[in-house]
Structure 1
Amino acid sequence: MAETTTTPPALLLRKRFGNAWALSAALLVLVAVLDPTQLIATLTFAGKALAGTAPFIIFAVLAVAYLKATGAENLLAKAFEGNPTRMIIMAAMLGGLSPFCSCEVIPFIAALLAVGAPLGAVMAFWLASPLMDPAMFAITTGAIGIEFAVAKTLAAVSLGIFGGFGTLLLAGTPVFTSPLRENPQVGGGCGAKKPFSSSPVWRFWIHKDRTQTFRDTAIENGAFLLKWLTLAYVIEALMVHYMPAGLIAKVLGGNGLGTVILGAFVGMPAYLNGYAAAPLVAELLDQGMSNGAAMSFMIAGGVSSIPAAIAVWALVKPRVFAAYLGFALTGSIIAGMVWQTLT
């Protein structure tokens, strides 16, 4: 989805609720206590799944570390210059492709809003950015397949454009009048002290500080992906063993609009980031979940995931946040229906 001006809200909430390792351990302890014969099978399943995903994890970690070390995040500022229509399209495209976390973008977006950057472009970026990045693309490809990953990327950009132009059209209404909170929390999370303030340096290895950034980012993202995917695969192992496949097929199967809508309404309050959601959705698909419901689940859940939603909630008034969720819910259903039709 702030309590002080020095602790970023996303980081604060993550410290309280984001301990994926603890949750994984708690689930394994429950299995050991309630069904000890299943513990080894659960650990084996999760271990094999992680090993199978390892090439995608390594590629994702190295790609993000390179982009971070070069300072490529500075290119994001280009999306918020020029004609409003161009800004919305560029913001949606960069949001759907950039490898940077939501809390990192908070100070940048706050500064843009404060100096009058169009809320439509900001909304486009906000909606697209939590749905896809290079690491998530690799993980989604490994868990579900390249076609789904490409479709989700297109859906992310399309959702950003949809929300951006929707905001632009409704800019004169009370919903979007004076959107900023009086005292927005703009602490620079994720170690981003001066985001978007310099030009990229593509040959980063000749600079000691950038080499250190590459190393630190690789370690940080590797640990991040490992903990979330471990949790996802532990849950997937439990789903395979305990959840009746017939139930999933009955509730979320079929080709009707109802399954797509249900997927969106289930996904939105699930608050799952795309890394954890991909393996779980892959298992649900194997158990009978429809393609459209899978897409709407991942789109709605990604936008409402805690780090993404808190980045918006921290800066804008509740009515703008409600519009953000409304665009996400509507767009996820549309994306699900389109994917259902194409597949």
Structure 2
Amino acid sequence: MTTIAARLRRLGTEAGFAGIRIDRVWGAMLAILLAVAVLDPEQAGSSLRFVVDALVSTAPYLAASIAIAAYAGATGADALVARAFSGRIGAMIFLAALFGGLSPFCSCGVIPLIAALLAMGVPLAPVMAFWLASPVIDPAQFVLTAGTIGTEFAVAKTAAAVGLGLFGGFGTLWLGRAGFLSDPLRPGVGNGGCGGAKMRNPKPPVWAFWNEPERIAKFRAEGMKATLFLVKWLALAFLLESLMLVWLPAETVAAAVGGEGLWPIVVATLVGVPAYLNGYAALPLVSGLMAQGMAPGAGLSFLVAGGVSSLPAAIAVFALVKRPVFALYLGFALSGSLIAGIAFQAIQ
């Protein structure tokens, strides 16, 4: 995708010395690894293995999404996708929130898809709806939640995911129409640049792109650029995740949100937003706390907030949108998770 290439050039602020140009994301990862190697050499090796293993496990999602994005760019079909999302924003928000809440995508697997949608010029509102809903739950996690905490809680978590998506999607739409998000994406991503041109002047796609050497070259180039863009941000996310899991144990975070009443729900939300917890690992911890008296609403708020604001999801947002939109994303995660917890607690 040409827009991702432009994004790569802008996000890749290079530090030039001795004729070497270093992308700032790779530079940050190298600096972190060197610092950890000095403080805890064993942990540096463990973190590096964690990053490699996580990238390998995410590879199928990356490969499929990058291939689709490169194919769309080479054939010109990305213009049709962007066009299909135009003029029906309300319906798209509903569909995006529903699909996000029911889809099997985790916060890592959804990143390539979101990057492709934004690069194709899909409006931010339905993308925000999908982005907020998708990391909260998936079919496998629904079954595990029902088995560890209960079916009612699993249904509530699914409803919270869809509701959070609708809340963020329509909130983004309203703010955009009010003029607060007139230019939400970073330069070179989404509706700006060639993405906007494709939406304004769509051309018939060439599905059999392999018959034209120029389109074959474009397919390869777009696939490579998209791969470099996505891999570096995912690698940074996984590196930070590995350190948080060691230095900020899940048990410590979860133990801070015990108790009953409204205040634990507020605390659970505040703790859940900045803290990363694997959705599957967090379930038995929350189940144990609830068995000891933790409010169900607090448990729901903690799981929803932690899922939405996980490092892979949050870093992906930061990489593709401007800082005010990133703050808006976290704001939706915070307020939406709090509302979901209070509502669930009220019906208990």
Q: 2:24 aligns with which of 19, 24, 27?
A: 19
CA distance in 2, matches of 1:153, 1:192: 37
Asked if residue 40 in structure 1 is aligned to residue 62 in structure 2, the reply is no
Q: What pairs with 1:273-288 in structure 2 (closer than 5 Å)?
A: 281=278, 285=282, 288=285
- Which residue number in structure 2 is paired with residue 99 of structure 1? 113
| RMSD (Å), alpha carbons | 5.3
- Which residue number in structure 2 is paired with residue 219 of structure 1? 224
CA distance in 1, matches of 2:208, 2:47: 41
SS in 2 for 1:81: coil
Once the two structures are TM-superposed, the CA of residue 99 in structure 1 deviates from its matched residue by 1.7
Unaligned runs of 5+ in 2: 16-22, 102-109, 145-153, 287-298
CA distance in 2, matches of 1:93, 1:200: 29
Once the two structures are TM-superposed, the CA of residue 262 in structure 1 deviates from its matched residue by 4.0
Distance 1:329 1:308, change over 3 A: farther
Query: Contact 2:305/2:333 (CA < 8 Å) preserved in 1?
Result: no
Q: What pairs with 1:1-343 in structure 2 (closer than 5 Å)?
A: 12=10, 15=13, 19-35=24-40, 39-47=41-49, 50-51=52-53, 53-54=55-56, 56-71=57-72, 72-73=77-78, 74-81=80-87, 85-90=90-95, 99-101=113-115, 104-105=118-119, 108=121, 124-131=125-132, 146-147=140-141, 158-165=163-170, 177-179=178-180, 187-189=187-189, 193=194, 194-196=197-199, 197-198=202-203, 202-244=207-249, 246-252=251-257, 261-262=266-267, 264-266=269-271, 270=274, 281=278, 285=282, 288=285, 292-300=301-309, 302=313, 305-310=317-322, 326-334=331-339
Query: Contact 1:79/1:87 (CA < 8 Å) preserved in 2?
Result: yes
Q: Give the aligned residue type for 2:189.
A: G
Query: Contact 1:248/1:284 (CA < 8 Å) preserved in 2?
Result: no
Deviations 1:269-321 (A, max 9, x none): x5x9xxxx6xx63697389465642321332564794235518659xxxxxx8
Once the two structures are TM-superposed, the CA of residue 75 in structure 1 deviates from its matched residue by 1.6
CA distance in 1, matches of 2:210, 2:343: 44
CA distance in 2, matches of 1:340, 1:213: 53
Deviations 1:115-146 (A, max 9, x none): xxxxxxx563252254478xx89xx98xxx94
Distance 1:243 1:336, change over 3 A: same
Query: Sequence identity, in percent?
Result: 28
CA distance in 1, matches of 2:125, 2:30: 37
CA distance in 2, matches of 1:24, 1:219: 21
Query: Contact 1:264/1:332 (CA < 8 Å) preserved in 2?
Result: yes
CA distance in 2, matches of 1:14, 1:242: 29
Query: Contact 1:299/1:328 (CA < 8 Å) preserved in 2?
Result: yes
Distance 1:146 1:34, change over 3 A: same
CA distance in 1, matches of 2:205, 2:143: 27
Query: Contact 1:159/1:331 (CA < 8 Å) preserved in 2?
Result: yes
Q: Give the aligned residue type for 1:298.
A: G
CA distance in 2, matches of 1:239, 1:184: 30
CA distance in 2, matches of 1:103, 1:51: 27
SS in 2 for 1:99: helix
CA distance in 1, matches of 2:83, 2:264: 39
Distance 1:213 1:329, change over 3 A: farther
Once the two structures are TM-superposed, the CA of residue 163 in structure 1 deviates from its matched residue by 3.9
Once the two structures are TM-superposed, the CA of residue 21 in structure 1 deviates from its matched residue by 2.6
The structure showing larger relative contact order (alpha-carbon pairs under 8 Å, at least 6 residues apart) is 1
SS in 1 for 2:227: helix
Query: Contact 2:184/2:325 (CA < 8 Å) preserved in 1?
Result: no
CA distance in 2, matches of 1:212, 1:40: 43
Deviations 1:210-255 (A, max 9, x none): 4334433443343344434443444344345444554223224679
Query: Contact 1:295/1:339 (CA < 8 Å) preserved in 2?
Result: no
Number of residues paired by the alignment?
290
Once the two structures are TM-superposed, the CA of residue 12 in structure 1 deviates from its matched residue by 4.7
**TM-score of the superposition, structure 2-length normalised?**
0.57
Query: Contact 1:264/1:299 (CA < 8 Å) preserved in 2?
Result: no
CA distance in 2, matches of 1:230, 1:41: 16
Unaligned runs of 5+ in 1: 1-6, 110-121, 315-320
**TM-score of the superposition, structure 1-length normalised?**
0.58
